Amino acid sequence: MQPTNRVLGIRGFKALKQMTKLCYLTLRRPAEALKTYTELLTYTKSAVTRNYSEKTINNILDYVGGGKGGPVEVDVLEKFYQATKKALEDSKNDRLSAKTNLKLAKLWLDRKEYGRLSKLIRDLHHATAASDADDQSQRGTQLLEIYALEIQMYNETKNFKKLKEIYNASNAVRSAIPHPRIMGVIKECGGKMWMGERQWNRASEDFFESFRNYDEAGSPQRIQVLKYLVLANMLTGSEVNPFDSQETKPYKNDPQIKAMTDLVDAYQRREVHSAEKILKDNRSTIMDDPFIRSYIGELLRSLRTQYLIDLIKPYTRLELSFLAKQLGVDIQEVEELLIGLILENKVEGRIDQVGMRLELDRQQSLEKKRYAALGKWTEALEGVHSAVVGKTAGSSRNDPSMLGPEAYGMGMRGDERWG
């Protein structure tokens, strides 16, 4: 019995599939792998089923773009995708064509090929807008995938104006069922955007959403985003421990998170020296991340400020050199911290720059507190008085015993009283 053309086609497809893998991964000959792959694509029209061909194409593009075959020139990578795109257009496989372009966009993002990425994103937006798909959720989902790539590009290139524009656009998409990893990416970039604007609470909210989505997707990025969440939470000054929530509690003792857990404890106890030691001893898990490192100065400043407020409470006069020694910083930094506290009315006093000391005005502070308490007491009394007057007026209209003499005709002339 002679094999049919279809059987020969399947065998040929499988042979080309193995040859492509051998040339690319084992022999490290990407140009030869491209030839066999291009020939393989001609078999996808009729020799094999669509599902099998799609699975094969995805697997090949994954190892081609994943760097498993060693360093490959960008032009060669682009040719793999161009060959794929042409074959898919010929077979009118729009769905796989869109997925392939998204995969290529991710490759350009990873390789920091922002020029190529920008062009491809424009093409993706155009294709999505021109799509005649009836399924609005599918279109919305694809749009969010494009936004996720775009927002990462603007985050990496520090184009914060465009980043915010894309972030707001992604929040406006309603008809979508995105993969949780996509939402994790968008919310992570959103959190970083809010951090840049010093809106710690909004950053904390977005980082939590990002962590939750990454956790649902099983993405390892959840650990890094959890660190960002802890950082933002501390900068808010919140007394709530971020590890008290149901979602974050399982990670409290994770080796990569333990240092951040200890940092939260030190921060809430206002132990600035313990916090500094934790940062010094855990450089690899905290300080090696450029994003975290850029906010550690802000965090330490906040912690030193709280420590300073507690330190000066019992005194009326303190040498700046003493405060600097207690904080482990120079006198100039202590002076800057104190000026900030005085301007914010968190400390009542002044800095004697000749004697280099802080003089606290306890009497003025006490008087202010007394006046404030007296003001509240007066307001409370006025409130009670108004309530009593209002109640009395209401009762007098309904109770004859509370009515005035004119209600009984008293004070009226005789002819008016008796008609």
CATH number at residue 325: 1.10.10.10
Q: Are residues 209 and 268 in the same domain?
A: yes
pLDDT for residue 67 is more than 60: yes
Write the CA distances from 219 to 154, 169, 180, 215, integer angstroms.
Answer: 22, 24, 9, 6
The pLDDT score that the predictor gives to residue 230 is: 95
Q: pLDDT band at 2, cuts 50/70/90?
A: very low
CB 174 within 8 A of CB 139: no
Average pLDDT estimate for 63-78: 79
- Domain contains 328: yes
Does 405 have pLDDT greater than 50? no
Average pLDDT in the chain: 85
Give residue 408's pLDDT: 41
Average pLDDT over residues 234-262: 90
**What pLDDT was estimated at residue 358?**
92
CA 393 to chain centre: 57
Same domain, 215 and 249: yes
Domain membership flag for residue 27: no
Q: Which residue has the tokens 């002679």?
A: 2
> Which pLDDT tens digit goes with each residue over 140-161?
999 999 999 999 999 999 999 9
In what side-by-side order are the strands of the sheet with 317-319? 317-319, 357-360, 349-352
Contact (Cβ atoms closer than 8 angstroms) between residue 171 and residue 159: no
Q: Are residues 245 and 183 in the same domain?
A: yes
Residues 268 and 329 in one domain: no
| Lowest-confidence region among 259-263, 269-273, 401-405 | 401-405
Q: What is the mean pLDDT of residues 395-399?
A: 55
**pLDDT bucket at 137, cuts 50 / 70 / 90:** confident
Q: Is residue 23 part of a domain?
A: no
Tell whether 204 is covered by a domain.
yes
285 and 343 together in one domain: no
**Nearest Cα to 170, choosing from 129, 136, 141?**
141
Q: Which residues of 229-257 are buried (b: 16+ CB within 10 A; e: fewer)?
A: bbbbbbbbeeeebbbeeebbeebbeeebb
Lowest mean pLDDT among 70-79, 100-109, 293-302, 400-409: 400-409
**pLDDT value of position 384:** 74
In 3D space, the residue among 215, 301, 200 whose CA is nearest the CA of residue 251 turns out to be 215
Residue (of 223, 215, 226, 145) closest to 186 by Cα position: 145
- Which amino acid makes up residue 227? K
Mean predicted confidence (pLDDT) in 279-296: 91
Q: Domain range for residue 218?
A: 179-292
Q: Are residues 363 and 322 in the same domain?
A: yes
| 282 plus 321 within the same structural domain | no
**Hey, what amino acid is at 85?**
K
Q: Which of 257, 292, 327 is the last residue of a domain?
A: 292
**Token pair recorded at residue 198:** 């010093």
Instruction: Indicate whether 327 and 376 sit together in one domain.
Output: yes
pTM assigned to the model = 0.77
Bridge partners (DSSP) listed for residue 359: 317, 350
Last residue of a domain, one of 292, 321, 341: 292
Cα-based angle 44, 46, 51 (whole degrees, multiple of 5): 55
- Residue 288 and residue 194 share a domain: yes
Reduced to 3 states (helix: H, G, I; strand: E, B; else coil), residue 315 is coil
Q: For the chain, what percent of residues have pLDDT higher than 90?
A: 53
* pLDDT (0 to 100) of residue 96: 86
The count of structural domains within the chain is 2
Instruction: Express each pLDDT in 360-383 by its tens digit.
Output: 886 544 445 555 666 677 777 777
In a domain, 19, yes or no: no
Comparison of pLDDT for 271 and 48, the residue scoring more: 271
183 within a domain of the structure (yes/no) = yes
Stronger pLDDT, 352 or 392, i.e. the higher one: 352
Name which residue leads in pLDDT, 371 or 274. 274
Q: Which residues contact 335 (CB under 8 A, 6 or more apart)?
A: 320, 351
